[in-house]
């Protein structure tokens, strides 16, 4: 039975990392979840939420610090809810990702001990890789800004630079915000439930130097059309679109018909010698470099001899099946999205 009370101070040792990157320790066999705590650390914590089978706590003081603890590279790391493990050395992050997978399988899969789990394959440079970003925007009284929500809140943390976005996406996003500021578009304010432009979605590929911009809006007006005209003139932008989304509680951002206003309806993406025409709502792997590593691992696992027939279930745009196609006899892709 959990007798811990909110604001109570306890002392625990962190035993493992949870699925959200939090440290997990135990107090009288009760699991305690602690943000930013690392395996092996001895921490004094304050209970912030207490439930029947577990409790959530925050660090008051670290009595024993992990040798793998590092200073996060991102200046917003402690403020925004975008990343979870930057305070841990990258090589240790990879090990913990493997451990999280093992814990999950052990809990839910009988006979798991017969399965071999390989080491997690990391990146040479684990920053500036993400080829798509979709961020809520606000007007700060001077200009249009974008950000990410602080963890477990609806408070927006304004961000000038995100270390996981590709430099092409990052550069384009800044110029798009400038264009929205210059054209004086009506930016949505959730506090007063007024305004028109809610999100900006930018997707761009270093391999093809093509960028796609989609504005998520409450309704269309002349200022938004003027802004999209200006956005279409930004270097590398080949496609400018909008999507009307008035669902303020929905999770999906691009939840309605997407209308192309300037340029092409799709942009070109590449995986090795494969080319893809990608629309704003197409699923495509966010980390192109690591996608190739993943797909090579799939090919290695299959070890195709040339006479295989591949069934690519939930294939989306078909990137896995197409990647394997030259090595096998036949590929069939299945998806419910025509």
Interval 291-301 mean pLDDT = 96
Average confidence score pLDDT of the chain:
95
Tens digits of per-residue pLDDT, 268-286?
999 999 999 999 999 999 9
Q: What is the DSSP letter of 189?
A: B
Asked if the model's pLDDT at residue 72 lies above 80, the reply is: yes
Q: How confident is the model at residue 153 (pLDDT cuts 50, 70, 90)?
A: confident
Burial of 91 (0-12, 13-18, 19+ CB in 10 A): exposed
Burial of 124 (0-12, 13-18, 19+ CB in 10 A): exposed
Distance CA 215, CA 6 (A): 43
From residue 156, give the alpha-carbon distance in Å to each of 61, 81, 147: 27, 10, 6
What pLDDT is attached to residue 57? 97
Strand partners, 268: 277
**Helix, strand, or coil (residue 194):** strand
Interval 109-114 mean pLDDT = 82
What pLDDT is attached to residue 109? 86
What pLDDT is attached to residue 9? 97
Please report, rounded to a whole number, the percentage of residues in the chain having pLDDT higher than 70. 100
Asked if the model's pLDDT at residue 112 lies above 90, the reply is: no
**Helix, strand, or coil (residue 180):** helix
Asked if 100 contacts 19 with a C-beta cutoff of 8 angstroms, the reply is yes
């Amino acid at each position: 039975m959990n007798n811990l009370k909110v604001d109570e101070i306890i002392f625990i040792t962190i035993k493992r990392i949870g699925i959200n990157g939090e440290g997990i320790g135990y107090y009288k066999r009760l699991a305690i979840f602690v943000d930013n705590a690392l395996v092996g650390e001895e921490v004094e914590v304050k209970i912030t939420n207490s439930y029947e089978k577990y409790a959530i706590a925050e660090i008051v003081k670290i009595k024993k610090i992990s040798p793998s603890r590092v200073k996060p590279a991102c200046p917003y790391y402690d403020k925004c809810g975008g990343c979870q493990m930057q305070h841990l050395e990258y090589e240790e992050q990879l090990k913990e990702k493997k451990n999280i997978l093992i814990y999950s399988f052990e809990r839910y899969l009988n006979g798991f001990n017969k399965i071999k789990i390989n080491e997690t394959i990391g990146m040479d440079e684990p920053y500036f890789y993400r080829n798509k970003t979709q961020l809520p925007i606000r007007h700060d009284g001077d200009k249009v800004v974008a950000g990410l929500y602080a963890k477990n809140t609806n408070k927006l943390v304004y961000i000038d630079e995100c270390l996981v976005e590709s430099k092409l996406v990052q550069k384009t996003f800044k110029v798009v915000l400038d264009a929205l500021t210059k054209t004086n578009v009506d930016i949505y304010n959730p506090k007063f439930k007024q305004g028109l432009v809610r999100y900006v979605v930018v997707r761009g590929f270093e391999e093809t130097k093509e960028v796609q911009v989609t504005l998520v809006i409450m309704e269309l007006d002349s200022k938004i059309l003027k802004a999209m005209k200006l956005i279409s003139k930004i270097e590398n932008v080949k496609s400018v679109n909008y999507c009307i989304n008035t669902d303020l509680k929905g999770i999906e951002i691009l939840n309605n018909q997407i209308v192309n206003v300037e340029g092409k309806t799709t942009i070109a993406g590449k995986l090795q010698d494969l080319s893809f025409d990608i629309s704003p709502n197409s699923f495509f792997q966010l980390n192109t470099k690591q996608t190739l590593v993943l797909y090579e691992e799939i090919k290695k696992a299959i070890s195709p001899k040339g006479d295989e027939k591949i069934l690519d279930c939930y294939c989306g745009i078909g990137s896995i099946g197409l990647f394997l196609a030259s090595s096998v006899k036949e590929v069939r892709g299945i998806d419910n999205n025509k």
